Structure 1
Amino acid sequence: MTSLTIARPDDWHLHLRDGAMMRAVLPHTAQHFARAIIMPNLVPPVVTGAQAMAYRDRIMAALPEGMSFEPLMTLYLTEDTDPDDVAAAHASGLVKAVKLYPAGATTNSASGVADFGKIRATLDRMAQIGLPLCVHGEVTDANIDIFDREAVFIDRVLDPLRRATPGLKVVMEHITTSNAVDYARAQDDSLGATITTHHLVINRNHILAGGIKPHYYCLPVAKRESHRLALRAAATGGETRFFLGTDSAPHTDANKLLPCGCAGCFTAPNTMAILAHVFEEDSAMDKLEGFASRNGPAFYGLPVNADTLTLTRTPSPKHGHVDTEDGPVTVFDPGFELNWSVQ
């Protein structure tokens, strides 16, 4: 195979940040992706419908002329979220999901949920109106090993939450374990799961063996090799409940290289080239369109994009870093040559 044309893909988990950072990274997503679920963990977070509208306006103002891109907005769930505001934002067509961060789980999650009983009314309303809940699935208990936090979250939080809220659509975001893959496979079609680009490529050795690699550090942290292989099988196996959510998360190099560096991998510029490599390696090029372009829209009840994207077997340009007004942002390095590129 020397070329592959697919429906234009979407990114179902994306960090655009704001201000100068957003202006620098947005074109790299809009170049390849038609739509993206936009994460609301700004400072302060995007909590209300009015704030989501203002953020959407800033995104569209930053979009370079001639580029086509639709930001799909989300709200940041807090213990004080107003269910009526959530319902109104959804009814307007603006908000496509609500994001649950356990308090302290990841970047800018301090305003997240500590007492899950306090979000009961919002979850019930979301189930009634068909608004999906996107979940960062990790517990934050200090006594739980960081490599076990996803599996414990499924047992302690996610499964009880879903049983208590029949009909609630849930996206398990950026899953990293075979536990999450197995759980997702055992559920009905009210549950979907996104898989990132980088978790298909790296395991925890890539972060720690031979010296710490800050640009491979993300949350949820990459796990052992058996979990990576489970993710690969889920992504490349044609199962419709799994779809692409890059979790592309730009941080300046200065912030990544601090003694307590930020978590996140910036994959927007080369995600499609990396995916082509992964799917070809797993003899699954015929499944790439489903994972990147079809399964996500089906879960969210949106049409597949009418325009297309073509990948060709030509060496992909190397993306060392992206310059921003705040400093350079290093692009994720998969650790191998990329022999596919977007035409």
Structure 2
Amino acid sequence: MTTADTISVTAPADFHVHLRQGALSELVTSHVRLGGFTLAYVMPNLQPPIKNTEEALLYKAQLQAIDPTVEYLMTLYLSPDLTPDEIRKAKHAGVVGKIGRLSVGPVQADNIASTGVKSYPRGVTTNSDGGIESYETYYPIFRAMEEEDMVLNLHGEVPSAPSDPSSNICVLNAEPSFLPHLIKLHAAFPKLRIVLEHATTRAAVECVKSLGDTVACTITAHHLALTVDDWAGQSWNFCKPVAKFPDDRQALRDVIKEGHPRFFLGSDSAPHPPTKKSTSTPSQPCAAGVYTSPILLPLVAHLLESFGALDKLENFTSGFGRAFYQRPSNSARQTKLRRISGRVVEAKWTKGTEEVVPFWAGKEIGWEIVEDE
């Protein structure tokens, strides 16, 4: 529902979010709901990663204990420890947890320990040292996932190879260089639902559009705002994959404005302590990640409005992703936004000794969430 100054979005869903662990998780998990979202598709790249059913269930219970008003969909980390039997176990394991209730309606329970499996090429981003090097090795896993109708989530970059000049791979072309792997995987497993995560290039958009209905793509809020100039020399805007050229950003905006049903929000909201974002050393570069969770829905509305796509907000942040992931929305769970002027995004959020600095800090934002009455 949209009027000139208010928007209601049905059951907003973030299909890519990092909620970390320990004290940092205690701070950031509640920001999913603060940012307007009722579903979080949770990444498994913890230390150590979430590699099996029991670990996924335990992590889910920990998140529910922090904020039971959000529906958490869990993922497993693709590694040599994963087996076809574990895939079947994760899909069918029962989940027992506290189910919360808001005035807007209850969280939906399910009996799935893991909805998807996340693939990280080795060394391309945070906690990916145990990532994969060959997809063919995992074909038995992908076959089991196809049979169980689980989702394969791909971090779509080829690792940089600075020691091999002949490869010519760096952060600016790592994503286009990955696309042949996506095409090959889809050809080998045409019924396997695959999501190319956090696309940043026109080439990625065109590739996903050219493939079948089982291939989708997430787009982050920050990649709708940034280009390479915004992160070169600016550690707070540095993430993986890095933002690319203005024409690439335009391709992301255009496919949202088009209303293509296989492109939807996955924030890749990735919190790091400020000390890891603002400083670096020769042996420890600044952390890759942009943190958007606490302002996510207002930020997406602000950005979509800036390029004439505000009418696509609900499908981009809820409808299309839920349809692909087969997660029907509870129509009673509405998040309402209102237009505002003069509001500046907070400089930081803190809890105890933990602290995070959000994307867009100190900048004006044109929308805010209306609190439940």
1:28 to 7, 27, 31: 31
Deviations 1:112-157 (A, max 9, x none): 11122221110011111111100000001403021101001002x2
- Which amino acid counterpart does residue 40 of structure 1 have in structure 2? P
Is this contact kept in 1: 2:345–2:361, CA < 8 A?
A: no
Is this contact kept in 1: 2:301–2:310, CA < 8 A?
A: yes
Secondary structure of the residue that 2:115 maps to in structure 1?
strand
TM-score by length of 1: 0.95
Deviations 1:30-87 (A, max 9, x none): 2311111100000100000011001111111122xxx611110000001231111111
Corresponding residue of 1:18: 21
Is this contact kept in 1: 2:190–2:214, CA < 8 A?
A: no
Q: Does 1:220 align with 2:241?
A: yes
How far 1:26 sits from its partner (Å)?
1.0
More moved, 265-274 vs 35-44: 265-274
Deviations 1:80-127 (A, max 9, x none): 311111111112312111101111111001111112222111001111
Is this contact kept in 2: 1:137–1:154, CA < 8 A?
A: yes
1:321 to 337, 348, 372: 348
Is this contact kept in 1: 2:348–2:361, CA < 8 A?
A: no
Corresponding residue of 1:90: 91
1:50-199 matches, cutoff 5 A:
50-63=54-67, 68-92=69-93, 93-142=112-161, 143=167, 144-155=169-180, 157-199=181-223
Corresponding residue of 1:44: 48
TM-score by length of 2: 0.87
Secondary structure of the residue that 1:320 maps to in structure 2?
coil
Identity %: 35
1:5 and 1:44 map into 2 onto residues whose CA distance is: 39
1:288 and 1:334 map into 2 onto residues whose CA distance is: 22
Is this contact kept in 2: 1:322–1:330, CA < 8 A?
A: yes
Q: Which runs of 5+ in 1 are unaligned?
A: none
- Which amino acid counterpart does residue 193 of structure 2 have in structure 1? K
Secondary structure of the residue that 2:297 maps to in structure 1?
helix
Corresponding residue of 1:246: 267
Is this contact kept in 1: 2:271–2:289, CA < 8 A?
A: yes
More moved, 258-267 vs 316-325: 316-325
Secondary structure of the residue that 1:328 maps to in structure 2?
strand
Is this contact kept in 2: 1:218–1:263, CA < 8 A?
A: yes
1:336 and 1:230 map into 2 onto residues whose CA distance is: 25
Is this contact kept in 2: 1:256–1:262, CA < 8 A?
A: yes
How far 1:338 sits from its partner (Å)?
0.9
Secondary structure of the residue that 2:177 maps to in structure 1?
helix
Corresponding residue of 2:286: 261
Corresponding residue of 2:337: 311
1:165 and 1:237 map into 2 onto residues whose CA distance is: 28
Q: Does 1:4 align with 2:10?
A: no
1:174 and 1:112 map into 2 onto residues whose CA distance is: 17
Corresponding residue of 1:289: 314
How far 1:334 sits from its partner (Å)?
7.1
More moved, 132-141 vs 86-95: 86-95
